[in-house]
Amino acid sequence: MFVVAAVTIEAQPPTQGGGRGGRGAAITPRTAYPERPPGDPAAIERGRALYGVNCQFCHGADTRGGDSGPSLLRSSIVLDDQRGELIAPVVQNGRPDRGMPKFAFSREQTSDVAAFIHTFKAAGYDESRLKPASIIVGDAKAGAAFFDAKCAACHSTTGDLGGISTKIPDERMLQQTWLMPGSGGGRGGPPPVTLKPVTVTVTLPSGEKIDGTLDRLDDFAVSLTTADGTRRSLRTSGDTPKVEVHDPLEPHRDLLRTYADADIHNVTAFLVTLK
């Protein structure tokens, strides 16, 4: 048996009169991507909610990837997985070397996410490429209350978010953008909002403070660019010097694991009214 690209070729015994001068071996092509029976609808819906909150901002709504995460559609792990048994170690342990955090999912939750991911077919122009139905199914009043409680300390409906639904008319991109700003641009396009840079304050043993835009931070050094354009790089050892990172997206990341599915739909329904 030989595998060529996405087609498996099985050699058959030569027909009579075959050989090099005849017609040779017959071949039977078949699609190499697995066909799975329909999954449990309840499990798929639970997986859809978990994926939407925890995975979509990196891997895309259609699992085809985005600016910050790879496509899952043709991943060998996903293709070989049946009920989450291969996906679970990746989800639960993360891939720190590739920027993927670990998630405290139970086996059942991972199985639900796998069931949702498996609804997307790897080959051809399948239903995952079709324009989805409107996602505006939430309660705008409930979304306004959630916004006032969780978001209004940093954002204003008449300031930075004034007319947001006009600036980002695509409902799914709007939802993706407020869940994790900077992730909604999709492949090949810029994000629909401009993000503030990550900044850092370095306090030297003498008490001197150095502020600037963070360029790099690891276990051995911190590099930054000060307001006048000067680039500085300082060695670090433990907590010396003191390094304070100011990430404008940290509140969004902290909130990601607290949203209920209803919260996401309600806030999106509210933001759509901001024209």
Q: How confident is the model at residue 62 (pLDDT cuts 50, 70, 90)?
A: confident
Q: Which CATH superfamily is domain 41-129 in?
A: Cytochrome c-like domain (1.10.760.10)
Specify the pLDDT at position 20. Answer: 43
Q: Across the strands, what pairs with 216?
A: 223
From 31-45, 49-63, 121-135, 231-245, the region with the lowest mean pLDDT:
121-135
Locate the DSSP E strands across 127-257. Answer: 199-203, 209-217, 221-225, 231-235, 242-246
Q: Specify the DSSP class assigned to residue 131.
A: P
Rg over CA atoms, the chain: 25
Separation between Cα atoms, residue 1 and residue 7, nearest integer Å = 11
Tens of pLDDT along 187-198?
A: 445 556 677 899
**Which two structure tokens, joined as six digits, stand for 206?**
């003498």
Q: How many CB atoms lie within 10 A of CB 241?
A: 19
**What's this model's pTM, rounded to 2 decimal places?**
0.52
Specify the pLDDT at position 102. Answer: 86
Specify the pLDDT at position 190. Answer: 53
- For 7-44, b/e burial (b = at least 16 CB within 10 A) is eeeeeeeeeeeeeeeeeeeeeeeeeeeeeeeebeeebb
Region for 238 from its dihedrals, namely left if φ exceeds 0, alpha if ψ lies in -120 to 50, beta otherwise:
left
Q: Higher confidence at residue 170 or residue 26?
A: 170
Q: For the chain, which residues make up each domain, given as ranges?
A: 1-32, 41-129, 140-188+251-271, 199-247
Q: Does domain 199-247 have CATH number 2.30.30?
A: yes
Q: Higher confidence at residue 183 or residue 102?
A: 102
Tens of pLDDT along 259-269?
A: 888 999 999 99
Specify the pLDDT at position 69. Answer: 80
Q: Treating both helix axes as pointing N-terminal to C-terminal, what angle do 261-271 and 140-150 enclose, rounded to 10 degrees?
A: 100
Q: Which helix (H) or strand (E) holds 24?
A: none
- Mean pLDDT for 132-138 is 77
- Mean pLDDT for 77-86 is 88
Summary mean pLDDT of the chain: 80
